[in-house]
Amino acid sequence: MTTTAALNADREVARVRDLKTPIGLAVFAIAALLMGFAFPRDGETTFRLSTGSDFIQLPALVVPTVGFVAAVAVLMVLMVFGALAFSFLHPRGKSPLWLVIVFVALALFAFLTWAAAGKTIPLPGLLIGALALSTPIIFGALGGVVSERVGVVNIAIEGQLLFGAFSAAVVSSVTGQPLLGLLAAMIAGMLVSLVLAVFAIRYIVEQVIVGVVLNVLVMGLTNFLYSTVLTANTAQFNSSVRFPSLEIPILSQIPIIGPVFFQQTIIVYLMYIAVFGVWFGLFKTRWGLRVRSVGEHPTAADTVGIDVNRTRFWNVLLAGAIAGMGGAYFTLDSVSAFGKEMTNGMGFIALAAVIFGRWHPIRATLAALLFGFATSLQSVLGIIGSPVPSEFMLMLPYLVTIFAVAGLVGQSRPPAADGKPYIKS
Amino acid sequence: MKLELRGITKKFGALVANDHIDLTVEAGEIHALLGENGAGKSTLMNVLYGLYRADGGEILLDDKVQHFAGPGDAMNAGIGMVHQHFMLIPVFTVAENVMLGHESTKFGGVLDLEGAREKVREISARFGFDVDPDARVEDLPVGVQQRVEIIKALSRDARVLVFDEPTAVLTPQETDELMAIMRQLKETGTSIVFITHKLREVREVADRITVIRLGKVVGEAEPTATNAELASLMVGRAVDLMVDKDPAEPGEEALVVRNLSVIDANNQYVVAHLNFEVRTGEILAIAGVQGNGQTELTEAIMGLQPRVEGSITLGGEELVGRTPRKVLDAGVGFVPEDRREDGLIAGFTIAENLMLDRSHSEPFVKSGTLQLETLATFAREKLEEFDIRAPGIETHVGKLSGGNQQKVVLARELSKEVKLVVAAQPTRGLDVGSIEFVHSQIVAARDAGVPVIVVSTELDEVVALADRIAVMYRGGIVGIVPGDTPRDVLGLMMAGETPKEAAA
């Protein structure tokens, strides 16, 4: 009897009931029920799918608010029971991912319908705003992914973004060349990284502390220069020349997607390339294999002749350059002037996106997009006037980030040697 | 390829780990480097491999002096190493691990994974390995991981291959297979350096034997030398290889384990449905290859595992569900398998470590204040009694040798009123003198009528100590057999065969 148990032990899996998912979904379903039945709102909700300048005009989508929200709420309740069934019947107690995705989409749609009763939601505007707000976070997250994959914790993303934004503004203002501004932003990001790399790798200082100090240092430095130099001569130093918007032929004419993704500046297009490039590089090339080996098991990398600390040094610099480009977005695309602390904590959100995205460039990008979408949603609803207090709406992006990081990630596994210096005897 | 080391010296601070070591390995020879833990074998090989820089001496390959700035240089010169702690990236596939550091690439630095897979398959076929190039290393059993290490070295055309304590993680059968692989490599002209402290293996496979003690070469031996000769050379004095113990006089059942299971964070049963009992005055050895649930079993007894099913009773008292504090209060002495991590606080003094588990009550603490006088007297007594070699009771434990650290742990755990002793890997990494001492203390506890559980992956230790042997495999107990069960039967049981199958 004991033998069979012994031989089968590795295949035996304890039955678990994962009630986290159904409970989480139930909270949303209750909220939907409240919106549908306890606080019904009359009228119709209009979703505008095209803007006036679009190549192909789509008709607006109009739904009756009360009926739609109530119907979706009932559907959501049914799906909660579905998730419960999965918890009890499925051997691992997990609800399938499609169920969660469909549920979240329904919940979002119901909320939009309810909040904008009698009004119009401009869907392209919502999405364009989402992408705009996501772009610097995506660059920051990619910088974080590269740095942490090679084994150096990068808390300094915020500083890299801020210094990038500042340098881009000044250089672009002085030279009149946005491209030089972009270059300056990358160099600025690398400078911040250089300090991080020297202290973390050469002098083995605790990386989190160096990162935090760098953020404060950059904030102080840019504030000082802003108030002493930039405000004294705004025309010369702080009126940057922005990148023009470039339409990509054909692609930009696709309804909804075209105007959102393909009528952008070169920085956004560089972002697409960077996302693909970091993903492809990390997982398909020699560079990536070595970067990941150094971040996972530096001693093993050393024993096959890879110079661990040199690899770390250069890739931390590369991470700074990528994050610096994100900084350029603020002053070369978004607005044409640098403002005090204008990155406004985006670097920390990028850090959350790195963790939420489990140190994977594509997943981190999706996490950044989620945050951008939540922020954009908050501002759109603020403009059209929603029944939810604006203070709550301002919290929305951060709430989404906390819930996403806490609830959906579960146990994410960082690179094994992340944050651990490599010391040879 | 002929390897020659001349006068290699390596110092770590004041410690001379290698003192003018000379070693010559002819082409196509299996040369065993025999020595106790801490004798300096691994240091020597890390110097050879370019991981450490020697303070003196030179390395010659085919009579040409070499200068290795790092492992890359050593590898390019044809030296390969199978490390004791595998140098594999757990989250990479076999092919990725094998290609790392000398990746062949296509246009634009894109990895040529197909080429790497082909290389793995080709080398596997040559040695009859069954290794899937796309398997993730962390999902592979340790025996297979070791083969990946061998493939990795061979894929770089290693002509000198160093095996650093390769059998520590293997079952006896896997060890035999490894020996066959070594002989096969030797046939093809590869020189092999085989580092070990296990005498039996050396005599079986080595062409020549060099013995190292305290960082110096103390002699060469032929494989025909007896175990006793090799052991005395290795230790520097005559060694009694058997533990002196009288037949056990088991009393009533003290520890009773019923249907015990441990579930890990991935919801896997890592210990499944165990049933056994330990009587007073008997040693039950838990044998098995590392990672078959032994660690989790001891942690379950100690209350260190969060998800435990079933029951563990000690003298009728239920232990499952208790905190470690309450388990200790029930009279359990515990020697954890990793003394540095779990047994001691390196930055504390010997005296402080001796009272770690008694910090909540008299006599060492009164009204929240340490009774330093009492503690000092107690610690001095224990220093004497357990032969702890240290300048004084105020010495930091981190500065002691492994053997003396383990004596501190034993002194703490055995100098209270124990009703059960659980000793996990009690002699791992210790020198022979300390091993003898630890074994005698464990036997003394048994003779005092205490039930004892000894968990060990070393078959020698199991056979020397056990009155009964329970063999664990994949979380279950394959069988419980008498202490005089032949080694080959135990070996087969460690690979999962039932006692009947194994004896057949």
Predicted pLDDT at A1: 34
- Which amino acid would we find at residue B204? E
**B286-312 pLDDT tens trace:** 999 888 899 999 999 999 999 999 999
Alpha-carbon gap: A263 to the closest alpha carbon of chain B (Å): 30
**Is B116 in the A-facing interface, judged by CB distances under 8 Å?**
no
Predicted pLDDT at A405: 66
Predicted pLDDT at A374: 86
Report the distance separating Cα A198 and Cα A191, nearest Å.
11
**Is B10 in the A-facing interface, judged by CB distances under 8 Å?**
no
Residues A112 and A156 in one domain: no
Q: Cβ B476–A7 below 8 Å, yes or no?
A: yes
Interface contacts (A, B; CB < 8 Å): 132
Picking from A2, A296, A302, the nearest residue to B71 by CB comes out as A302
Q: Cβ B269–A14 below 8 Å, yes or no?
A: yes
**B371-381 pLDDT tens trace:** 999 999 999 99
Residues A277 and A217 in one domain: yes
Picking from A8, A13, A289, the nearest residue to B103 by CB comes out as A289
* Span B325-330, average pLDDT: 92
Predicted pLDDT at B37: 77
Contacting residues of A for B42, CB less than 8 Å apart: none
Q: Using DSSP, state whether B380 is helix, strand or coil.
A: helix
**Is B293 in the A-facing interface, judged by CB distances under 8 Å?**
yes
Predicted pLDDT at B174: 85
Domain encompassing residue A104:
14-118
Note whether B423 and B457 are within 8 A (CB).
no
Report in angstroms the alpha-carbon separations of B102 from A124, A280, A307, B69, B318. 49, 19, 13, 17, 57
Angle between the N-to-C axes of helices A123-149 and A308-329, in degrees from 0 to 180, rounded to the nearest 10: 160
Picking from A16, A304, A411, the nearest residue to B71 by CB comes out as A304
pLDDT band at A8, cuts 50/70/90? very low
**A207-239 pLDDT tens trace:** 999 999 999 999 999 999 999 999 988 889 998
Please state the pTM of the whole predicted model. 0.83
Strands (E), B141-268: 160-164, 191-196, 208-213, 216-221, 253-263
Q: Using DSSP, state whether B356 is helix, strand or coil.
A: helix
Q: Cβ A300–B87 below 8 Å, yes or no?
A: yes
**Is B267 in the A-facing interface, judged by CB distances under 8 Å?**
yes
**Is B108 in the A-facing interface, judged by CB distances under 8 Å?**
yes
- A247 has which bridge partners? A263
Q: Cβ A7–B496 below 8 Å, yes or no?
A: yes
Q: Specify if A419 maps to a domain.
A: no
Which of A10, A292, A296 best tests the B interface by mutation, with the highest count of B CBs <10 A?
A: A10
- Considering only CA atoms, give the Rg of chain A: 24
- Considering only CA atoms, give the Rg of chain B: 24
Report the distance separating Cα A298 and Cα B161, nearest Å.
22
Report the distance separating Cα A399 and Cα A405, nearest Å.
10
Residues A197 and A58 in one domain: no
Note whether B120 and B131 are within 8 A (CB).
yes
Please name which of A70, A79, A62 lies closest in space to residue A118, comparing C-alpha atoms. Answer: A62
Q: φ and ψ at A223, to 5 degrees? A: -60, -45
Q: Helix %, strand %, coil % for chain B, to 5?
A: 35, 25, 35
Q: Which two tokens stand for residue B440?
A: 């005698």
Alpha-carbon gap: A16 to the closest alpha carbon of chain B (Å): 7
Identify the residue whose tokens are 């390769």. Answer: B166
DSSP B342: I
Report the distance separating Cα A103 and Cα B239, nearest Å.
72
* Among B45-49, B234-238, B318-322, B444-448, the least confident range: B234-238
Residues A42 and A144 in one domain: no
Residues A245 and A331 in one domain: yes
Dmax of chain A from CA atoms?
Answer: 86
> Which is it for the CA torsion B354, B358, B361, B362, positive or negative?
negative
Residues A77 and A189 in one domain: no
The domain that holds A171 is classified in CATH as 1.10.3470
Q: Cβ B100–A301 below 8 Å, yes or no?
A: yes
Q: Residues for chain B: how many in total?
A: 504
Note whether B75 and A304 are within 8 A (CB).
yes
Give the chain A residue nearest B87 (alpha carbons): A300
Predicted pLDDT at B214: 86
Residues A347 and A383 in one domain: yes
pLDDT above 50 for B432? yes
pLDDT band at A2, cuts 50/70/90? very low
**Is A423 in the B-facing interface, judged by CB distances under 8 Å?**
no
pLDDT above 60 for A11? no
pLDDT above 80 for B362? no
Planar angle of CA B402, B88, A282, nearest 5 degrees: 135
Note whether A169 and A188 are within 8 A (CB).
no
* Span B81-96, average pLDDT: 93
> Which is it for the CA torsion A216, A218, A224, A227, positive or negative?
negative
Q: Using DSSP, state whether B57 is helix, strand or coil.
A: strand
Q: Cβ B71–A307 below 8 Å, yes or no?
A: no
**Is B151 in the A-facing interface, judged by CB distances under 8 Å?**
no
Predicted pLDDT at A212: 96
Residues A64 and A187 in one domain: no
Residues A87 and A30 in one domain: yes
**B170-202 pLDDT tens trace:** 877 888 889 999 999 999 889 999 998 888 888
Residues A61 and A172 in one domain: no
Q: Cβ B83–A303 below 8 Å, yes or no?
A: yes
Q: Cβ A9–B71 below 8 Å, yes or no?
A: no
pLDDT band at A14, cuts 50/70/90? low
Percent of chain B with pLDDT over 90: 60
Q: Cβ A305–B498 below 8 Å, yes or no?
A: no
Contacting residues of B for A290, CB less than 8 Å apart: 100-101
Identify the residue whose tokens are 């200068």. Answer: B67
Report the distance separating Cα B153 and Cα B132, nearest Å.
17
pLDDT above 70 for A409? no
Q: Is B49 left (phi over 0), alpha (psi -120 to 50) or beta?
A: alpha
Stretch 44-83 of chain B: residues touching chain A, C-beta under 8 Å:
49, 51-52, 70-73, 75-76, 81, 83
Predicted pLDDT at A399: 78
Q: Which two tokens stand for residue B55?
A: 């303070």
Note whether A179 and A161 are within 8 A (CB).
no
Picking from A9, A292, A297, the nearest residue to B269 by CB comes out as A9
Predicted pLDDT at B39: 83
Identify the residue whose tokens are 């702080």. Answer: A238
Predicted pLDDT at A346: 93
Q: Considering only the top CATH level, what class is B3-235?
A: alpha beta
Residues A240 and A322 in one domain: yes
Q: How many domains does one find in chain A? A: 2
Report the distance separating Cα A37 and Cα A30, nearest Å.
10
The secondary structure of chain A, three-state, reads CHHHHHHHCCCCECCCCCCHHHHHHHHHHHHHHHHHHHCCCCCEEEEECCCCCCCCCCCCEEEEHHHHHHHHHHHHHHHHHHHHHHHHHCCCCCCCHHHHHHHHHHHHHHHHHHHCCCCEEEHHHHHHHHHHHHHHHHHHHHHHHHHHHCCCCCCCHHHHHHHHHHHHHHHHHHHCCHHHHHHHHHHHHHHHHHHHHHHHHHCCCCHHHHHHHHHHHHHHHHHHHHHHHHCCCHHHHCCCCCCCCEECCCHHHCCCHHHHHCEECHHHHHHHHHHHHHHHHHHHEHHHHHHHHHHHCHHHHHHCCCCHHHHHHHHHHHHHHHHHHHHHHHHHHHCCCCCCCCCCCHHHHHHHHHHHCCCCHHHHHHHHHHHHHHHHHHHHHHHHCCCCCHHHHHHHHHHHHHHHHHHHCCCCCCCCCCCCCCCCC
**Is A5 in the B-facing interface, judged by CB distances under 8 Å?**
yes
Q: Specify if A295 maps to a domain.
A: yes
Q: Considering only the top CATH level, what class is B242-331+417-504?
A: alpha beta
Domains B3-235 and B242-331+417-504 share a fold: yes
pLDDT above 50 for A4? no
Q: Specify if A415 maps to a domain.
A: no
Stretch 332-391 of chain B: residues touching chain A, C-beta under 8 Å:
none
- Give me the residue spans of the domains in chain B: 3-235, 242-331+417-504, 343-416
Predicted pLDDT at A7: 42
> Which is it for the CA torsion A60, A63, A69, A71, positive or negative?
negative
Alpha-carbon gap: B268 to the closest alpha carbon of chain A (Å): 5
pLDDT band at B416, cuts 50/70/90? confident
**A50-94 pLDDT tens trace:** 877 777 788 888 888 888 888 999 999 998 888 888 877 776 667
Residues A69 and A185 in one domain: no
Q: Using DSSP, state whether B77 is helix, strand or coil.
A: coil
Stretch 386-445 of chain B: residues touching chain A, C-beta under 8 Å:
none
Q: Specify if A423 maps to a domain.
A: no
pLDDT band at B91, cuts 50/70/90? very high
Q: Is A345 left (phi over 0), alpha (psi -120 to 50) or beta?
A: left
Planar angle of CA B112, B127, B105, nearest 5 degrees: 10
